[in-house]
């Protein structure tokens, strides 16, 4: 499934099924960013990879967001940013933050930026 264009090399970003720590996750990856296990079992980019844009759907698990959805990824690629909903430690308080693409980490949260119109966004 093609979600959009890579912000760095303009190739297709596709969603593929993967696993992380035994759990099923989606991997959103630029078609030019492929990884494999090398001889010493390191998970590295293949020699023909020309890009590094890869994001796992559980990327925001630390902030109690279980899954970064295909829809959210698609919107991020279209608008260069997307608003996501994060949760406090006990799942009580929720808050909203902007996410942008990041060349090194795939995506990053703009912690200093306040989201003012989250109601509009989610209505
Ligand atoms: Zn790319």
Query: Percentage of residues in the chain with pLDDT exceeding 70?
Result: 93
Residue 8 has pLDDT above 50, yes or no: yes
In this predicted structure, what is the pLDDT of residue 121?
54
CA of 120 to the centre of ligand 1 (A): 32
CA of 80 to the centre of ligand 1 (A): 14
Q: Which residues surround ligand 1, an ion (CB under 5 A)?
A: 6, 8-9, 11, 30, 32, 51, 53
Geometric angle at alpha carbon 59, from 7 and 80, rounded to 5°: 25
Range of the domain at 107: 2-122
Residue with the larger pLDDT of the pair 12 and 20 = 12
**Per the structure, how many domains does the chain have?**
1
Confidence of residue 93 (pLDDT cuts 50, 70, 90): confident
Residue 80 has pLDDT above 90, yes or no: yes
Question: Dihedrals φ, ψ of 63, to 5°?
Answer: -105, 25
In this predicted structure, what is the pLDDT of residue 103?
85
Geometric angle at alpha carbon 82, from 50 and 75, rounded to 5°: 65
In this predicted structure, what is the pLDDT of residue 123?
41
Are 1 and 8 in contact by the 8 Å Cβ rule? The answer is no
Q: How many CB atoms lie within 10 A of CB 17?
A: 9
Confidence of residue 104 (pLDDT cuts 50, 70, 90): confident
Q: What is the overall mean pLDDT for the chain? A: 91
H-state helical runs in 34-117: 70-79
CA of 103 to the centre of ligand 1 (A): 9
Question: What CA–CA distance (Å, rounded) separates 63 from 7?
Answer: 25
Question: Are β-strands 54-56 and 81-87 bridged in parallel, bridged antiparallel, or unpaired?
Answer: unpaired
């Amino acid at each position: 499934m093609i979600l959009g264009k890579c912000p760095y090399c303009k190739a297709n970003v596709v969603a593929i099924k993967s696993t992380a720590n035994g759990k099923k996750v989606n991997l959103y990856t630029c078609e030019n960013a492929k990884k494999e296990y090398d001889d010493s079992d390191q998970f590295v980019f293949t020699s023909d990879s020309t890009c590094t844009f890869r994001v796992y759907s559980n990327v925001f698990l630390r902030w109690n967001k279980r899954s970064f959805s295909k829809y959210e990824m698609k919107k991020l690629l279209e608008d260069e940013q997307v608003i996501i909903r994060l949760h406090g430690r006990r799942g009580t308080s929720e808050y909203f933050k902007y996410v942008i693409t990041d060349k090194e980490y795939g995506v990053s949260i703009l912690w200093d930026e306040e989201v003012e119109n989250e109601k509009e966004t989610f209505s």
